[in-house]
Every structure is written in structure tokens, then in C-alpha cells.
């Protein structure tokens, strides 16, 4: 589709609406449960039971319960063979389709980091231990990163081409940002965007080996923070040309108005200490939307609770904004990697819809080096029009999206 033009021939940008969303995470299944968990400041991190963590420092994670996740397994063909990530995507897409059955995406842009990594683990172990390879076809079939997307689309009769973005912990936000630009440019009218990741033993042990994970509570921006906890989940957002969505009478939940990215290339795991990378991503999202820093009402921070990440992001936020409320909801549900940006975008959407600030739990003492307005331990009411969602990943990859209550 050609990019729209004004009568004088100049290119114009389409407004991009969010018309439906779906989410499954440790906070709950669907919008209602997620909203309740946020409002009640629930700590949804629990002991890991899916695999042994006896030799790990960290023994907790934000987890999606298998009993509920697999309860709907009859909906998908060969459902017992599907990876947990596929079941998460099916749940998330089911909610989107229920809200907007007329939404037919022309493209799907999905962020993830590990894909079906746990099946890769099983295959590798069988080879190393000369084990039985009877399940090898299932392991291999479920390993590609696009497989959960294909599985979910198949259940609901959707066959949109899929683009997978694997850009570390910024993957989900990058996917939404790329989808936003696809619709705004006029090349597409409707794009499905989001992210997923399922808890994987290999990834869990890897973070633990880096000593990035904490044996204690996850305490973003707290003086006593000692590291992150992992999580999992899936989230999808249906993005549509606003004018076309209005013409067909679709509900407009909010608008995506800006997207900013940067790469600082400082270190493979540590952020650049000054916070220049995160600051550039946030500045570019503001410039993209023609929005001033003073117009932002809430920031959902990347906030992993690692010493270096929180310090860099904190410097960037305090240097660019003046006392804007900030929280990291990873304190409640862990860091779901490729899904994090998509889940946290939906957190921002709920905050705008229901006019409240999501909490940053487990917070006891501000960091002496950070000047931040943290939403401490409890949700609180607020007048919100514009929210910023941050995702910053290994390798210095940074992404921010700006969301606004629709003017329509």
C-alpha cells in the first residue's frame, strides 16, 4: 500500500491506534487479572519448580502456571506437542480475537530472545548422553522462534507473514515500534505486534552464572538492590490505522505516538554508565511524537534491579524528566526478556485507561545517586494522558515507545 499523501503531494503520517490487546504473564491471564494484580501490588514471583535450581544462587522466577496454561490445549491441533511458548501465544491471541474479531493483520512483528530454547536443551542433552531421540522431531520442530507465532495464528485462521525481532531485552518494544512505523508509513493498515518468552533452564542458569540474578527480592531502583529475577509470558497488541479503525467502529484503546532507539555498544552485558544510550532512545521517542518531556505523565522503566542498569537508566530519566512518576513492574513479575516490552506496554495502556500509577514493589530506600519519583510499593490514582515504556538490553540496545490516550 502506498504511503498516504496530502492534496499538495506531501507525504503525511497516519495515526496508529491500539484496538485490542492480549496478555498472559505471572500477573494473570488477560486484562482483568493483570489490572487487579497491578492495583493490589501483588508479588507474583515464586519458587522455581520446573527444573532444579539447587546449584543456583537465585531460586525464584515469575512463572505462568502450567495447569491454567495447558487447560485450553484442546484448541490447537497436536496441542500436546506444542511448546509452552505456543500456548502462551495462543492465549494472548485468543484475547485479541475476542475483542476484535474483525481485525485481520497483514503482518505480525514479534519479539523474542530464546524461542523454544528448552527443546534445544533436550535435544542437546540427548545427543551428549546418547539418550533416546524418539522425541527429537518434536524438539526440532518447536525450536524456531517463529513457531509459537505460527501455532497461534493457525488456531484462529490467521496467515499473516511473521517478522521476528531478536534484539535482546529490547525485542518486544522494538517489535511494537517497528509495527507502529509500518502502520504510520501507510505500508500496512493492520499489524499484530508483541513478544513472548518462556522460562528456560539454560537461560535461567546463564543469568545466574553472570550473577545478574538475585537470591533475594527483586528491588528496582532501591539502594539495596542485588539483581533481577527472570519471568515469562506473552503479549500482543493489534495496531491499526486510526482513521480506518474509526470507520469500521472499532474501539480505540490508545495510540502509539512515538518510537526511539539507540545503541551505545559499550559492553556486551553492561550499559554505558552515563546513561547516554537510554537517554537517546527516550529523547528520540519524544521527538518522533513531537511531545515534550514535561508532557509525559508516567514512565514504565526497564528497571531490572541490577546495580548498573538501574544506575544508568536512573541518570537518563532524572536528566531528561522533572519528577515524573517512575516504576518498574518487573518487581512484581520478573523480567520476561523478549516479552517484557510488550507486557509493559499493556501495563502502560491499563494505567492510561484506568488512571493509576502501577507500583514498584519491594522498595525500601532510595539510591543516594538517583533522583527519581518512584511509585513506592502501592498503586496510586493519577491523571494520565501520556506514558513512556522503556526496554534496554545486552549489547547496549535501547528502545522506548510513547503511548497516549486517544484524542478521538
Active site residues per annotation: 169, 302, 335
Q: What backbone torsions phi and psi does residue 377 show, to the nearest 5 degrees?
A: 65, -20
Task: Map the chain to HEC letters.
Answer: CCCCECCCCCECCCCEEEEEEEEEECCEEHHHHHHHHHHCCCCCEEECCCCCCCCCCCCEEECCCHHHHHHHHHHCCCHHHCCHHHHHHHHHHHHHHHHCCCCCCCEEEEECCCCCHHHHHHHHHHHHCCCCCCCHHHHHHCCCCCHHHHHHHHHCCCCCCEEEECECECHHHHHHHHHHHHHHCCCCCEEEEEEEECCCHHHHHHHHHCCCECCCCCCCCECCCCCECECCEEEEEEEEEHHHHHHCCCCCCEEEEEEEEEECCCCCCCCCCCCHHHHHHHHHHHHHHCCCHHHCCEEECCCCCCHHHHHHHHHHHHHHCCCCEEECCHHHHCECHHHHHHHHHHHHHHHHHHCEECCECCCCCECCCCCCEECECCCEECCCCEEEEEEEECCCEEEEEEEECCCC
Residues 24, 27, 33, 36: is their CA dihedral positive or negative? negative
Name the packing angle between helices 201-209 and 117-128 (round to 10°).
90
b or e along 137-164 (b: 16 or more beta carbons within 10 Å of the residue's beta carbon)?
A: ebbeebbebbbbbebbbebeebebebbb
Q: Tell me how far apart the alpha carbons of residues 339 and 200 are, in angstroms, rounded to a whole number.
A: 14
Task: Give the three cell numbers for residue 342.
Answer: 510488550
C-alpha 59/C-alpha 214 separation (Å) is 8
Residue 267, phi-psi category: left (phi > 0), alpha (psi -120 to 50), beta (remainder): beta
Amino acid at each position: 500500500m502506498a504511503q498516504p499523501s496530502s492534496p499538495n503531494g506531501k507525504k503525511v503520517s497516519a495515526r496508529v491506534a491500539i484496538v485490542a490487546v492480549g496478555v498472559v504473564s505471572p500477573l494473570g491471564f488477560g486484562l482483568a487479572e493483570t489490572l487487579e494484580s497491578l492495583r493490589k501490588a501483588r508479588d507474583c514471583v515464586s519458587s522455581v519448580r520446573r527444573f532444579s535450581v539447587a546449584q543456583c544462587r537465585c531460586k525464584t522466577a515469575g512463572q505462568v502456571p502450567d495447569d491454567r496454561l495447558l487447560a485450553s490445549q484442546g484448541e490447537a491441533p497436536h496441542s500436546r506437542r506444542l511448546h509452552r511458548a505456543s500456548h502462551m501465544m495462543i492465549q494472548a491471541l485468543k484475547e485479541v480475537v475476542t475483542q476484535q474479531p474483525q481485525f485481520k493483520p497483514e503482518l505480525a512483528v514479534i519479539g523474542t530472545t530464546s524461542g523454544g530454547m528448552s527443546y534445544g536443551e533436550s535435544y542437546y542433552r540427548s545427543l551428549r548422553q546418547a539418550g533416546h531421540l524418539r522425541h527429537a522431531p518434536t524438539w526440532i520442530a518447536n525450536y524456531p522462534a517463529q513457531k509459537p507465532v505460527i501455532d497461534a495464528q493457525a488456531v484462529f485462521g490467521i496467515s499473516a507473514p511473521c517478522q521476528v525481532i531478536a534484539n535482546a531485552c529490547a525485542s518486544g518494544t522494538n517489535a511494537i515500534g517497528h509495527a507502529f512505523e509500518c502502520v504510520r508509513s501507510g505500508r500496512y493498515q493492520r499489524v499484530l505486534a508483541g513478544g513472548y518468552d518462556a522460562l528456560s533452564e539454560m537461560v535461567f542458569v546463564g543469568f545466574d552464572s553472570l550473577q545478574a540474578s538475585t537470591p533475594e527480592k527483586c528491588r528496582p531502583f532501591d539502594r539495596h538492590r542485588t539483581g533481577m529475577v527472570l519471568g515469562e509470558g506473552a503479549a500482543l497488541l493489534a495496531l491499526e490505522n486510526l482513521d480506518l479503525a474509526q470507520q469500521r467502529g472499532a474501539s480505540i484503546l490508545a495510540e502509539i505516538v512515538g518510537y526511539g532507539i539507540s545503541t551505545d555498544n559499550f559492553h556486551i552485558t553492561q550499559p554505558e554508565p552515563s546513561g547516554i544510550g537510554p537517554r537517546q532512545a527516550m529523547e528520540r521517542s519524544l521527538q518522533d511524537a513531537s511531545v515534550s518531556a514535561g508532557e509525559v505523565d508516567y514512565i514504565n522503566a526497564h528497571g531490572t534491579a541490577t546495580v548498573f542498569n538501574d544506575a544508568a537508566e536512573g541518570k537518563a530519566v532524572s536528566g531528561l524528566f522533572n519528577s515524573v512518576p517512575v516504576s518498574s513492574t518487573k518487581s512484581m513479575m520478573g523480567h520476561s526478556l523478549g516479552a517484557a516490552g510488550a507486557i509493559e506496554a499493556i501495563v502502560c495502556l491499563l494505567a492510561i485507561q484506568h488512571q493509576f500509577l502501577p507500583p514498584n514493589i519491594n522498595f525500601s530506600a532510595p539510591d543516594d545517586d538517583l533522583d527519581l519519583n518512584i511509585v513506592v510499593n502501592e498503586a496510586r490514582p493519577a491523571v494520565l494522558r501520556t506514558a513512556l515504556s522503556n526496554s534496554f538490553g545486552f549489547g547496549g540496545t535501547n528502545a522506548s515507545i510513547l503511548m497516549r490516550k486517544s484524542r478521538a
